[in-house]
Structure 1
Amino acid sequence: MESSPRTTHIVIVSVPAFSHQVSILEFAKRLLHLQANTFHVTCIIPTLSSSPSTSKPFFFQSLPQNIRCIFLPSVNFQDLDNNGVSVEVQLQLSVSRAMPSVRENLISLSNTTEITALIADAMFPEALEFGKKLNILSYVYFPCSIMTLSIFFHSQNLDEEVSCEYKDHPGLLQIPGCISIRGIDLPDSVQDRGSLAYKLFLQRSKQYLNAHDGILVNSFMEMEEEATKAISQHGHGDCHYPPVYSIGPITQSGSSGSKSGCECLLWLDKQKPNSVTYVSFGSGGTLSQEQINELALGLELSKHKFLWANFRAPNDKTSATYFSSDGCLVDDPLHFLPLGFLERTKGQGLVMCEWAPQVEVLGHKAIGAFLSHCGWNSILESVVHGVPMIAWPLFAEQRTNAALVTDGLKVALRPNVTSGNGVMVKKEEVVKLIKALMEGLEGEEIRRKVKEVKKFANCAMMEDGSSTRTISKLAQKWKSLGKSF
């Protein structure tokens, strides 16, 4: 009689943010691919009443059979004034309110199967305590850069060294192994040191330091080598860093499966190589009406081809649709574009409210630049496909990412902004950036740099690449502890 196959069961806990869900589930897919489906993954996902996951069914429907998602009952924020609560705080509150359901599901799973390891999203480090109680290996999945993780690790020192608000600090801040950074480019959650967001940031920083089994980071050694070395060498003193595993670049794979995506790609097929600027502000970014006008007119005046995807109605809050299921909250958001814009740019550009299949778009030969909000997923996708960027950060850690790709990796240009009724990128600056990337010598050097980083990214994910070896070593460790179902 044949013995039952050894299948290692891993449990993942995500948060109600689609960008986080995509990253951690793509890691699960990568794990299954490398291990020939000898793993079984259960992903527990808290949801909101407006959770974007419900509007992205194709991604979840296309997951391998060995990945099962458990969507928890919706958490709502009806008792909060969401307009005054940051994305980070809303995520943290969603985690707190979902904890009883997560605990209940973990206990139920542990009663029916042998769980080898728990991997919790970086916004849910409290789940590590559940792992300890179940006596299983417990990890944090950090979907951002090593530089951002370094800021968390270094946060207590920064808190002691800087007496003013970080945005008012006159000099550059030093983070071990990282580029020097302006205080204003630190994540949003630290910009008001008297806020709840800052308190939660410091709390998470301490929790990361207690992630004794390790932190999985969606980056790769060759892109952030010095930062990675600085963390790995931090083995002395009172504060030891946990093991950090670079397992990236983990990016979304597969087709969008949508009709709008096909139409978008057909339009790109008609354009010349490297001639189109792709514009997208991710799954939650929004612009004010004034900024929409300036960006649109800048695209028009540049005389270069453009594809503006996921266009949304204006909102003065940059993260207005981060938790909503639909970025197009009105019947026809295109009427918020400048009068006559669509008619004047017919043939020059395409504006679409629907999601574009971003991985396929960035891999298209027609794309010559990416005007991006600098979400980490988008940066990795751009790097993997060797597309230079215009860094246009909006919220969360996006300004930190923008500093990394412009000042550190030198694969992007960043706009100069004007202050008035808020921060504004004027149309003249948009024209200047597009022309610099698409025409100038500066653009040539940036394209050379990004092609170099692309090569390193591809090498990291090869069979003997640095990230593949790291994932394989983790998998072997987990398999050695796994038991038969």
Structure 2
Amino acid sequence: MKKTVVLYPGLGVGHLTPMVQLANVFLQHGVDVTVALVEPPTKAPEFSAAVARAAASNPSITFHLLPPPPPAPAKSNPDNALTHPIAQMFEFLKAMNAPLRDFLRSLPSVHALVLDMFCADAFDVAAELKLPVYTFYASGALDLAVFLKLPSIRANMTSSFAELGDSILSLPGAPPFKASDLPSECSNDSEGAKAILRVFERMPEANGILINTFESLETRAVCALRDGLCIPNRATPPVYCIGPLVSGGGENEHECLRWLDMQPDNSVVFLSFGSMGTFPKKQLEEIAIGLEKSGERFLWVVRSPRSADHKFGEPLPEPDLDALLPDGFLERTKDRGLVLKSWAPQVDVLRHRATGAFLTHCGWNSTLEGITAGLPLLCWPLYAEQRLNKVFIVEEMKLGLEMRGYNEEVVTAEEVETKVRRVMESEGELALRERVAALKDTAVDALKEGGSSYAAFVEFLKDLENIAHS
């Protein structure tokens, strides 16, 4: 009988996308897969569209939308209600344990449950049903090494990480970095920060951790994890580097790809800041002025600015480019630039022969997509673990350049102009281009039969078999 695993990606498109790539790896190894989906508490058309695309593109994967959780009991003390959006998210995911448990019980057989990194409360479901349970960490090994260490460090501090400011932290598996490079979401003492630290406290309960990276990309961090340096006083679960899990692309009809077909090789800088990345009008104007002055070809995805009252998960309106960008900018740059509203087929753009560099928010999905396309990265982190990814890209691997000013009120037009020109024209960045080109080949080899990530997945399946028979 074929094995069946259930993947549980939690909330958000950024967590669903790599989980679908993981599902395809299971299929390649002859394991049936069901993805148990959580409908966001606020209806999100973007999520529904992503699920529809994933289901249409992956007919061999079963997608099951879990029913909403039972209503929460009324609190006797409403003043104690959770107000932080991250804490509310974790409370919602905890409430989803009941529908998840019912669904798992309804299946003829389940051989393992694979959880998104934020679904730690579902360890309780796996324990109750006596299922092997694994965490899929969709970001990199360096981030994981840092975050697994944070709860024990915080327990011995009298102040929060935020109060350390730009003090340098030296943690196992990571190059030295500023305390301010930690995600703001977990560096203070808010409800949300405490909830995130609890997730990483529970992660060692897993039978193993699957990481979306490849071993030669993050050797130092992987060694620190395997040597048990990141979790004091308890064993570190086995770590399996099974990436880079990157979408195969396949979009052929989008207008931007036809536009790229008309550009010279390696001549276009692509600017895109992820599904959550937005800027105020002032910053968009600075980017536009810098691009225009650089004289370089560009393809730029612009999203509407997020207003103060915009709720997480709600769609943004379509951007009004004429209102957001400097007067006449689109007309003056039409022969060498293209501005897209809200979305582009990113993997296809990055792999196009005309694309020469990637200005990115350093989300891990985008980082891997840039690396596997062999492109130098211009790093402009915005939120979550992206500042740590920037440290890794610029300091550890030397695969990109930092956009200075991202921590301040605005990244200036001069900085945009200088860095875009530097990465596209400078002979001094030839070594950078050689490094990313070599790493592209290494990434491809890792996934081939006999490669390090392929071997790690085979090892994971053997370990799962051993647990099932123990």
> Do both share a fold (TM > 0.5)?
yes
Equivalent position of 2:306 in the other structure: 315
Equivalent position of 2:183 in the other structure: 187
How far does the alpha carbon of each residue in 1:416-467 deviate from its partner, in whole angstroms, 9 at most, with x for none? 2177xx5310000001101110111332121111112212211211111111
Aligned CA RMSD, in angstroms, stands at 2.8
- Contact 2:23–2:33 (Cα < 8 Å) also in 1: no
How far does the alpha carbon of each residue in 1:240-260 deviate from its partner, in whole angstroms, 9 at most, with x for none? 222221111111124247x5x
Deviation at 1:347, TM superposition (A): 1.1
Q: Which moved more, 1:121-130 or 1:51-60?
A: 51-60
- For residue 170 of structure 2, the aligned residue among 171, 174, 184 is 174
Equivalent position of 1:263 in the other structure: 255
- Contact 2:165–2:179 (Cα < 8 Å) also in 1: yes
Do the aligned partners of residues 480 and 205 (structure 1) sit closer, same or farther apart at CA in structure 2, a change above 3 Å counting? closer
Q: Distance in 2 between matches of 1:72 and 1:140?
A: 23
Q: Distance in 2 between matches of 1:208 and 1:481?
A: 18
Q: Distance in 1 between matches of 2:249 and 2:70?
A: 30
- Contact 2:55–2:63 (Cα < 8 Å) also in 1: no
1:217 aligns with 2:211: yes
Whichever residue aligns with residue 323 of structure 1, its letter is G
- For residue 40 of structure 1, the aligned residue among 30, 33, 53 is 33
Deviation at 1:293, TM superposition (A): 0.7
Deviation at 1:106, TM superposition (A): 2.9
1:67 aligns with 2:62: yes
Q: Distance in 2 between matches of 1:331 and 1:221?
A: 40
Q: Distance in 2 between matches of 1:74 and 1:296?
A: 45
**What is the count of residue pairs matched by the alignment?**
457
Deviation at 1:184, TM superposition (A): 1.0
Corresponding residue SS for 1:126: helix
Q: Distance in 2 between matches of 1:371 and 1:264?
A: 17
Q: Distance in 2 between matches of 1:464 and 1:263?
A: 39
Corresponding residue SS for 2:299: strand
Deviation at 1:167, TM superposition (A): 6.1
Equivalent position of 2:286 in the other structure: 294
Equivalent position of 1:129 in the other structure: 124
- Contact 2:303–2:319 (Cα < 8 Å) also in 1: no
Deviation at 1:104, TM superposition (A): 2.5
Q: Distance in 2 between matches of 1:461 and 1:158?
A: 35
Whichever residue aligns with residue 400 of structure 2, its letter is A
Deviation at 1:112, TM superposition (A): 3.4
| Matching of residues 78-477 of structure 1 within 5 Å | 90-159=85-154, 160=156, 163=159, 165-166=161-162, 168-192=164-188, 194-211=189-206, 213-234=207-228, 238-256=233-251, 259=253, 262-309=254-301, 311-315=302-306, 323-324=313-314, 326-327=315-316, 329-330=317-318, 332-417=320-405, 422-477=408-463
Q: Distance in 1 between matches of 2:343 and 2:311?
A: 13
Equivalent position of 1:82 in the other structure: none
How far does the alpha carbon of each residue in 1:344-370 deviate from its partner, in whole angstroms, 9 at most, with x for none? 111110001142111111100101110
Q: Which moved more, 1:236-245 or 1:369-378?
A: 236-245
Deviation at 1:168, TM superposition (A): 3.8
Do the aligned partners of residues 475 and 468 (structure 1) sit closer, same or farther apart at CA in structure 2, a change above 3 Å counting? same
Equivalent position of 2:77 in the other structure: none
Q: Which moved more, 1:162-171 or 1:407-416?
A: 162-171
Do the aligned partners of residues 95 and 255 (structure 1) sit closer, same or farther apart at CA in structure 2, a change above 3 Å counting? farther
How far does the alpha carbon of each residue in 1:266-296 deviate from its partner, in whole angstroms, 9 at most, with x for none? 0000000110000001111110111111011
Whichever residue aligns with residue 210 of structure 1, its letter is E
Whichever residue aligns with residue 413 of structure 1, its letter is L
Do the aligned partners of residues 206 and 54 (structure 1) sit closer, same or farther apart at CA in structure 2, a change above 3 Å counting? same
Corresponding residue SS for 2:120: coil
Deviation at 1:331, TM superposition (A): 6.4
Deviation at 1:178, TM superposition (A): 1.3
Q: Which moved more, 1:12-21 or 1:228-237?
A: 228-237
Whichever residue aligns with residue 337 of structure 2, its letter is G
Q: Give the unaligned 5+ runs of structure 2.
A: 75-81
Equivalent position of 1:3 in the other structure: none
- Contact 2:269–2:359 (Cα < 8 Å) also in 1: yes
How far does the alpha carbon of each residue in 1:316-336 deviate from its partner, in whole angstroms, 9 at most, with x for none? 67x968623x34x14634521
Do the aligned partners of residues 18 and 228 (structure 1) sit closer, same or farther apart at CA in structure 2, a change above 3 Å counting? same
- TM-score between the two structures when normalised by the length of structure 1: 0.87
Do the aligned partners of residues 480 and 215 (structure 1) sit closer, same or farther apart at CA in structure 2, a change above 3 Å counting? closer
Task: Pick 1 or 2: higher relative contact order, CA cutoff 8 A, min separation 6.
Answer: 1
- Contact 2:9–2:37 (Cα < 8 Å) also in 1: yes
- Contact 1:42–1:69 (Cα < 8 Å) also in 2: yes
